[in-house]
Amino acid sequence: MLPGIFVFAVMKKNTNLRSLAAQAVEQVVENGQSLSNVLPPLQQKVSDKDKALLQELCFGVLRTLSQLEWLINKLMSRPMTGKQRTIHYLIMVGFYQLIYTRIPPHAALAETVEGAVAIKRPLLKGLINGVLRQFQRQQDVLLDAFAQSESRSLHPSWLLKRLQSAYPQQWEAIIEANNQRPPMWLRVNRNHHSRDAWLALLEEAGHKGFTHPDYPDAIRLASPLPVHALPGFEEGWVTVQDASAQGCMTFLAPENGEQILDLCAAPGGKTTHILEAASNAQVMAVDVDEKRLSRVYDNLKRLGMKAQVKQGDGRYPAQWCDGIQFDRILLDAPCSATGVIRRHPDIKWLRRDRDIPELAGLQREILDAVWPHLKSGGTLVYATCSILPEENSEQIRAFLERTPDAVLSGTGTPDNPGKQNLPAAEEGDGFFYAKLIKK
């Protein structure tokens, strides 16, 4: 046993964080991989105390990618290509540390340069060192110039144009919120404690939190905490969930004894929120992604809850709904996720303009397919974590026009349907809701 333990410890010690961050960012930008898929396996290669730094470097580089790209173009005569492309992203990791972290510059430089050895490009150490030192000498001038450039929004041009068109008065506030680190919101399980009672436990543990005026179970932490520091997390007293996502329950208003469908349910935050609000409801949680359904099971297990969990495509409910007519349906529709960019900065670089009409078409298919499975008098809440009208108000307006037995309830007007939340520093994420009643 001892030799194996020793080798494992050495491997952990010699892992270069900067090279791992560069590889992760390369997978996102060059290969279209989601950071949530790429990062966890890489975090297994580092010690527990280094996991947070690796995450910070990956998220930070993707948050500021257009700035770092601009700097490389100013400081290098030609781009790195082919097998040397990882070096391009390693230099970005170096820039990010020098601009945005408190890591001593000499340590940031040394570790980033050594990253070339970890990715088997030792001959390029001198190049990396030279570019980073040149940036240090010109840092103030370069950053001032970037602040006047077209890339200063840190958003791709197609998304910036859509935001400017949809929100001519608010787009600057939106991109500013998108470029910030997100607040950490919690949902108190009302079956264990009232929100205020749990908040008192949090304060007894030496941490501060703030309630939300609209969402009765929501608490925002003054500073993010690891879940093991939250009173009763393992016992199911509290769940990490953004305030805007919790807003779905305000409009769904589930009741005991009802048949309720949570469609596109993974990872299960809303499924468990339904059961916290109505513990005797019969809940079916359905998602097309079988792998992500494991998260639904995990959440149900931690909270000691039961639901019928199924893999299925929302466009074809006859294949999985067993002929059930539901009292309430929560459709958290697949979307561009443009409302949660501050939590998932890779979205800016994974999404394309052409994706928006394709997603709107998919949303339309699911809405039309699931509506017949709602009881007369029943409630359907359509929700997205998007802030683009094509997926939201325009989607619901078109649905109301072609669906005679659908009535909008308490969320906007037929001309401007739905309630749109926009991301803000001390608020929830960007989120859209429309509550529909079947006549």
Tell whether the model's pLDDT for residue 269 goes beyond 90: yes
User: From CA 132, how far away is CA 389, in angstroms rounded?
Assistant: 42
Q: Is 265 annotated for ligand binding?
A: yes
Q: What is the pLDDT of residue 79?
A: 84
On whether both 131 and 276 belong to a single domain, the answer is: no
Q: What is the pLDDT of residue 327?
A: 98
From the list 58, 321, 335, 385, the catalytic residue is: 385
Domain end point (choices 122, 152, 182): 152
Q: Which two tokens stand for residue 64?
A: 């500021």
| Assigned domain for 372 exists | yes
Q: Is 266 annotated for ligand binding?
A: yes
On whether both 267 and 144 belong to a single domain, the answer is: no
Tell whether the model's pLDDT for residue 144 goes beyond 80: yes
pLDDT tens-digit map of 197-218:
999 999 999 999 999 999 999 9
On whether both 268 and 129 belong to a single domain, the answer is: no
Q: Is 332 annotated for ligand binding?
A: yes
Tell whether the model's pLDDT for residue 2 goes beyond 60: no
Name which of 349, 323, 322, 300 is nearest 59 in CA terms.
Answer: 349
Task: Tell me, yes or no, if 385 is annotated catalytic.
Answer: yes
What φ, ψ does residue 379 adopt, rounded to 5°? Answer: -115, 130
Q: Is 269 annotated for ligand binding?
A: yes
- Residue pair 20/46 in contact by the 8 Å Cβ criterion: yes
On whether both 144 and 247 belong to a single domain, the answer is: no
- Residue pair 270/239 in contact by the 8 Å Cβ criterion: no
Return the minimum-mean-pLDDT range out of 2-16, 211-225, 265-279. 2-16
Domain that holds residue 145: 17-152
| Assigned domain for 9 exists | no
Query: What's the alpha-carbon Rg for the chain, to the nearest Å?
Result: 24
Tell whether the model's pLDDT for residue 279 goes beyond 50: yes
Name which of 263, 255, 241 is nearest 184 in CA terms.
Answer: 241
State what percent of residues in the chain have pLDDT above 70.
97
Tell whether the model's pLDDT for residue 300 goes beyond 70: yes
Q: Is 130 annotated for ligand binding?
A: no
Q: What is the pLDDT of residue 83?
A: 86
| Assigned domain for 330 exists | yes
User: From CA 321, how far away is CA 333, in angstroms rounded?
Assistant: 17
Domain end point (choices 129, 152, 175): 152
Count of domains observed in the chain: 2
Tell whether the model's pLDDT for residue 4 goes beyond 80: no
Span 232-241, mean pLDDT? 97
| Assigned domain for 352 exists | yes
| Assigned domain for 367 exists | yes
Tell whether the model's pLDDT for residue 402 goes beyond 90: yes
| Assigned domain for 131 exists | yes
Domain end point (choices 121, 152, 183): 152
Q: How confident is the model at residue 409 (pLDDT cuts 50, 70, 90)?
A: very high
On whether both 301 and 418 belong to a single domain, the answer is: yes
Looking at this protein, which amino acid is placed at residue 182?
P
Q: Is 287 annotated for ligand binding?
A: yes
Q: Which residues contact 84 (CB under 8 A, 6 or more apart)?
A: 121, 124
Span 233-260, mean pLDDT? 97
On whether both 412 and 275 belong to a single domain, the answer is: yes
pLDDT tens-digit map of 340-370:
999 999 999 999 999 999 999 999 999 999 9
CA-CA-CA-CA dihedral for 72, 78, 80, 82, to nearest 10: 150
Q: How confident is the model at residue 48 (pLDDT cuts 50, 70, 90)?
A: confident
Q: What is the pLDDT of residue 49?
A: 87
Tell whether the model's pLDDT for residue 5 goes beyond 90: no
Q: What is the pLDDT of residue 374?
A: 98
CATH number at residue 102: 1.10.940.10
Tell whether the model's pLDDT for residue 62 goes beyond 80: yes
Q: What is the pLDDT of residue 323?
A: 94
Q: What is the pLDDT of residue 7?
A: 31
Q: Which two tokens stand for residue 236?
A: 């199911």
- Residue pair 320/265 in contact by the 8 Å Cβ criterion: no
CATH number at residue 365: 3.40.50.150
412 DSSP assignment: B
| Assigned domain for 192 exists | no
Name which of 191, 187, 227, 192 is nearest 207 in CA terms.
Answer: 227
| Assigned domain for 178 exists | no
Chain center to CA of 288: 18
On whether both 109 and 249 belong to a single domain, the answer is: no
Q: How confident is the model at residue 412 (pLDDT cuts 50, 70, 90)?
A: very high
pLDDT tens-digit map of 6-22:
333 333 444 899 999 99
On whether both 141 and 275 belong to a single domain, the answer is: no
Q: Which residues contact 346 (CB under 8 A, 6 or more apart)?
A: 28, 34, 35, 62
Q: How confident is the model at residue 163 (pLDDT cuts 50, 70, 90)?
A: very high
On whether both 397 and 283 belong to a single domain, the answer is: yes
- Mean residue pLDDT of the chain comes to 95
On whether both 289 and 143 belong to a single domain, the answer is: no
